[in-house]
């Protein structure tokens, strides 16, 4: 049973204090069917307060994953989708409430799933491919801060064409989008802690060119409380999925 007490609290002046909160996100590749048990063990091993699983599917493997998460005390939420559709699963050790539409009409929750996680507004992100992702980026850029969303977490399927990709890799569509999101008031947590560094969460096949596709963006109130944000390449290198996980710790070390 998920815990009702908060791991974060509002302070005077609407300043949020996050108390030792661990966040993890992982793309499990087409529902994780090929490595379902290993992936469930992997995500449980992060011991995260908040999990965002992308390319989640409501198939048998997805239901087993939910079962294992809920057996360990997680609350879960995901869109109502067919078993062959990729979407987002949000899991939390704390109560999850559905705040309704935060990003405007016509936004498919398979790609942008918002939830109130015991007072913290979270958007689980799984951007579609090619130009189909651009309207979803626009929704985040124009509406996320206005809607008070604290954290944007998941597979954004875009980066800039400098440090976020191998020099030989194909150029991103919409490479300006992360910068515009940052200009709207969010911080790319991994980049803020690793300025100038190259590290990738997905590699093309063929070509073996690296791309950074997975992000945690935080509102200013939380950015100052992020003290770690690191990629875990083990699920990708072991073949459980084709993405690396991203794991962050917020609070005061």
Could you tell me if 144 and 184 are in contact, meaning their C-beta atoms sit under 8 angstroms apart? yes
When comparing pLDDT for 6 and 52, which is higher? 52
- Asked if the structure places residue 6 within a domain, the reply is no
- For residue 18, what pLDDT is reported? 67
Could you tell me if 200 and 212 are in contact, meaning their C-beta atoms sit under 8 angstroms apart? yes
- Asked if the structure places residue 135 within a domain, the reply is yes
Could you tell me if 26 and 15 are in contact, meaning their C-beta atoms sit under 8 angstroms apart? no
- Asked if the structure places residue 8 within a domain, the reply is no
- Asked if the structure places residue 4 within a domain, the reply is no
- Asked if the structure places residue 1 within a domain, the reply is no
Q: What is the CATH number of the domain that holds 136?
A: 3.60.10.10
For the chain, the first-to-last Cα distance in angstroms comes to 27
**Which tokens hold the place of 10?**
């509002």
Q: Domain total for the chain?
A: 1
Residues 6+ apart with CB under 8 A from 210: 165, 166, 169, 198, 200, 202, 203
- Output DSSP code: residue 32: G
- Asked if the structure places residue 147 within a domain, the reply is yes
Angle (deg, nearest 10), helices 60-71 and 36-45: 30
Alpha carbon of 130 to those of 14, 84, 127, 135, 229: distances in Å?
38, 20, 9, 11, 27
Q: What is the pLDDT of residues 203-244, one digit of tens each?
A: 999 999 999 999 999 999 899 899 999 999 999 999 999 999
- Asked if the structure places residue 209 within a domain, the reply is yes
- Asked if the structure places residue 7 within a domain, the reply is no
pLDDT band for position 10 (50/70/90)?
Answer: very low
CA distance linking residue 141 with residue 145, whole number of Å: 8
Q: What is the pLDDT of residues 82-99, one digit of tens each?
A: 999 999 999 999 999 988
pLDDT band for position 15 (50/70/90)?
Answer: very low
Note down the domain range covering 133. Answer: 19-250
pLDDT of 3 above 90 = no
Alpha helices per DSSP H over the chain: 36-45, 60-71, 134-139, 177-183, 189-193, 220-223, 234-237
Closest Cα to residue 47, out of 99, 88, 7, 87? 7
- For residue 98, what pLDDT is reported? 85
Q: pTM above 0.75?
A: yes
Could you tell me if 149 and 114 are in contact, meaning their C-beta atoms sit under 8 angstroms apart? yes
Task: Encode burial over 14-30: b for 16+ CB neighbours within 10 A, e otherwise.
Answer: eebebeebbbbbbbbbb
């Amino acid at each position: 049973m998920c815990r009702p007490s908060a791991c974060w609290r509002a302070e005077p002046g609407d300043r949020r204090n996050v108390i030792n909160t661990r966040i993890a996100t992982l793309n499990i590749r087409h529902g994780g069917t090929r490595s379902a048990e290993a992936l469930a063990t992997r995500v449980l091993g992060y011991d995260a307060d908040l999990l965002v699983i992308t390319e989640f599917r409501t198939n048998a493997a997805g239901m087993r994953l939910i079962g294992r998460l809920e057996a360990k005390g997680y609350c879960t939420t995901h869109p109502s989708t067919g078993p062959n559709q990729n979407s987002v699963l949000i899991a939390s050790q704390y109560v999850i409430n559905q705040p309704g539409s935060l990003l405007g009409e016509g936004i498919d929750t398979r790609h942008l799933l918002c939830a109130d996680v015991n007072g913290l507004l979270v958007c689980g992100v799984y951007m579609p491919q090619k130009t189909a992702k651009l309207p979803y980026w626009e929704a985040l850029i124009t509406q996320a801060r206005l809607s008070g969303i604290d954290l944007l977490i998941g597979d954004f399927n875009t980066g800039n064409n400098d440090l976020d990709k191998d020099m030989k890799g194909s150029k991103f569509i919409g490479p300006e989008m992360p910068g515009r999101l940052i200009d709207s008031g969010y911080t790319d947590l991994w980049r803020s802690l690793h300025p100038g560094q190259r590290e990738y969460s997905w590699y093309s096949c063929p070509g073996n060119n690296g791309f950074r596709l997975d992000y945690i963006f935080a509102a200013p109130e939380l950015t100052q409380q992020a003290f770690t944000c690191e990629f875990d390449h083990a699920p990708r290198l072991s073949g459980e999925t084709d993405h690396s996980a991203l794991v962050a710790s917020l609070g005061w070390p």
